[in-house]
Amino acid sequence: IRSATTSLTRGNFAKISSSDLSFFERTVGSSYVKTKDIDNYTCDWTKQMKGSSKCVLIPSSTEETSTILKYCAEKRIAVVVQAGNTGLVGGATPLFDEIILSTSRINNNFHLEESSGVLTLDAGIILADADYLLAEKGFMMPLDLGAKGSCQIGGCIAAGAGGIRLLRYGSLHSHLLGCTLVDGKGTIIKLGGSLRKDNTSLHTAHLTIGSEGQLGVITSVTMGVVPRPISILCAMLAVSSYSHCLRLLSLARSKLGEILSSFELIDGETMKCVERHLPIKNIFNEPHDFYLLIETHGSNGDHDGEKLNEFVEEALGAELAEDGVAAHSENERTHMWRLREESPIAAAKDGYIYKFDVSLPLEHFYRLTEETRKKLGTRARVYCYGHLGDGNSHLNVTTDGEDEELKKELSPFVYNWVVSHGGSISAEHGIGQLKRDYRSLGKSEEEISLIRSLKGVFDPHRILCPYKMIPSQE
């Protein structure tokens, strides 16, 4: 195991001393300064990136976080912020010996204002737990993603997570109203507020969306949540060509309108990979080139069912889909979603993995997969799944063992292809350490310089999450 970016040298940060450790122990309690058995923190989900941090600090509050960061700023100790450690670009993984500051224990406060649907919660609360608590009150987190059982809400904001319902409910920018941030000097700043509408100044809370810990540690989040849908329905279509997938997306938009919540794609190779590595069966008996998973959220099961059936019938009647199945039970719906949500797990089991998460104009969405297959031939296996409704493709390439040559060729090929076709090199996973060498692609000098200046305001000593998304001053 080694870090994704090998050519970097350690920054001019202080090394941790025993007096630093004593200070941290006095601040958070000795059980929450971990120096042993910390592999779960120093290594990322893909197990491809690993740092050699000497300690993990697990504060329980905004105030403790502030005390730690004030101290680290003064001593010039580098810190990497980590939430659920489910990220896919190594943003929360140290590269050298950065201290790891985990937000896992900042998870006590949860307050829902029922009349307005505004929720204030501690950043360390796990997404699925928040959703569970909301369900009791008839509300739902607008955000849902495969990592929901481990990812934390603060981490979701910092990662700018997208997920499987963005099509319906919009991005985090539509939901985040305010947050508490402890910046790189240890200052506690309340950004934004708790009103649905507040147009009095710059929307500073939004700066934290996708900030990857560069500006500070998010310790509390205030966001709008949505009414829990009364009816959730799901269907899967088997499709023979990508152009038919696109026509089905248009048909779904017009037939299902506002109840359309997810429109996900799994390509034929991915489905075979899922069946090869996981105990989940394709719901269609015959293999197909593409599968679409469509979910609706609405308030009337009969109406929604009628609409969904009409859509599936028209898709079959017009021969846009080769086959179609609607889920008739919660078990069937879970089965369909497992095929999609466990695609990343199956791909990870398939060999050494090279992961991509890109946005593309829909006309080019699948061409990237085809071109990558053509380029790599028998050297690698290429999988594509993703959020077609959002133009977000998860291209995953695997080889039997790590292939240095392929690694050197593949990222520049994919990223240049994406940018030259009007796309983005990161749709929802961020930059982290995996994409740091490509972070300026598609960005103007002026924007990069503005981002650098903002970093300097929040974290003048540049102790937070070094070597990653934001280029240093030098």
Residues forming contacts to ligand 2HG in the complex (CB under 6 A) are 88, 146, 344, 355, 394, 396
CA 64 to chain centre: 27
**Residues 62, 95, 463, CA angle at the centre, nearest 5°?**
45
Contact (CB, 8 A) for 73 and 185: yes
Cβ closer to ligand 2HG: 146 or 442?
146
Contact (CB, 8 A) for 440 and 471: yes
> 44 forms bridges with which residues in the sheet?
none
CB of 354 to ligand 2HG, least distance (A): 11
Contact (CB, 8 A) for 124 and 192: no
CB of 145 to ligand 2HG, least distance (A): 6
Cβ closer to ligand 2HG: 86 or 103?
86
Render the burial of 330-359: b for 16+ CB within 10 Å, e for the rest.
Answer: eebbebbbebbbbbbebbbebbbbbbbbbb
CB of 370 to ligand 2HG, least distance (A): 18
Cβ closer to ligand 2HG: 337 or 458?
337
Cβ closer to ligand 2HG: 383 or 417?
383
Cβ closer to ligand 2HG: 142 or 178?
142
| Distance set, CA 16 to CA 21, 33, 308, 393, 414 (Å) | 7, 13, 59, 41, 39
Cβ closer to ligand 2HG: 16 or 164?
164
Position 273, amino acid: C
Cβ closer to ligand 2HG: 244 or 394?
394
CB of 356 to ligand 2HG, least distance (A): 8
Say how many CA atoms lie within 13 Å of 447 toward its Cβ. 6
Say how many CA atoms lie within 13 Å of 173 toward its Cβ. 8
Contact (CB, 8 A) for 165 and 260: no
**Residues 323, 329, 324, CA angle at the centre, nearest 5°?**
5
Contact (CB, 8 A) for 262 and 164: yes
CB of 210 to ligand 2HG, least distance (A): 14
Left if phi > 0, otherwise alpha if psi is -120 to 50, otherwise beta: which for 430? left
Say how many CA atoms lie within 13 Å of 419 toward its Cβ. 14
Cβ closer to ligand 2HG: 65 or 396?
396
Cβ closer to ligand 2HG: 13 or 337?
337
What is 7-44 written as a DSSP string? S----SPPPP-HHHHHHHHHHH-GGGEE-SS-HHHHB-
CB of 430 to ligand 2HG, least distance (A): 11
Cβ closer to ligand 2HG: 88 or 207?
88
CB of 395 to ligand 2HG, least distance (A): 8
Q: CA 260, CA 377: separation in Å to the nearest integer?
A: 37
Give residue number: closest CB to ligand 2HG: 344
CB of 234 to ligand 2HG, least distance (A): 16
Cβ closer to ligand 2HG: 255 or 429?
429
CB of 357 to ligand 2HG, least distance (A): 6
Closest CA relative to residue 62, chosen from 3, 9, 109, 14 = 109
CB of 425 to ligand 2HG, least distance (A): 14
CB of 396 to ligand 2HG, least distance (A): 5
Element housing 219 (H / E): strand 216-224
